[in-house]
Structure formats: structure tokens, C-alpha cells
Amino acid sequence: MPCTHGKTREEVIHKGEEVIEMYLEDWQAEGESIPEPRTLQIA
């Protein structure tokens, strides 16, 4: 599972967004459908 780190919160968020973009590009390149967004609900 990918993870990210950085010196600032903003850097970590930026790197995390890059990881998400890479996943989406790979799924599209392989012809896979992109999963629908979900929200975690805690009971």
C-alpha cells in the first residue's frame, strides 16, 4: 500500500493527491473502471 510523508501538512497532502492521481491514471490505462466514492460511516 502506498504511503507518503513530508515536512509540512501541505506537503503531505500534495504528495497524497499525487498518489491518488497515479492510481486513477493506471486504472484508466488498464481499462478498469474507477470505483465510486464512498464515505466511511461509523455507528
In a domain, 43, yes or no: no
Q: Which of 21, 41, 11 is nearest to 2 (CA)?
A: 21
In a domain, 19, yes or no: yes
Collapsing DSSP to helix, strand or coil, 33 comes out as: coil
Report the pLDDT value the prediction gives residue 39, as an integer from 0 to 100: 87
The three-state DSSP-derived secondary structure of the chain is CCCCCCCCHHHHHHHHHHHHHHHHHHHHHCCCCCCCCCCCCCC
In a domain, 4, yes or no: yes
In a domain, 41, yes or no: no
In a domain, 8, yes or no: yes
Domain count, the chain: 1
Q: Which domain holds residue 23?
A: 1-34
pLDDT tens digits for 10-37?
Answer: 999 999 999 989 988 999 999 998 878 8
Model-level pTM? 0.66
Q: Is it the case that residue 1 has pLDDT exceeding 70? A: no
Q: Are 37 and 43 in contact (CB under 8 A)?
A: no
In a domain, 40, yes or no: no
Q: Is it the case that residue 43 has pLDDT exceeding 80? A: no
In a domain, 17, yes or no: yes
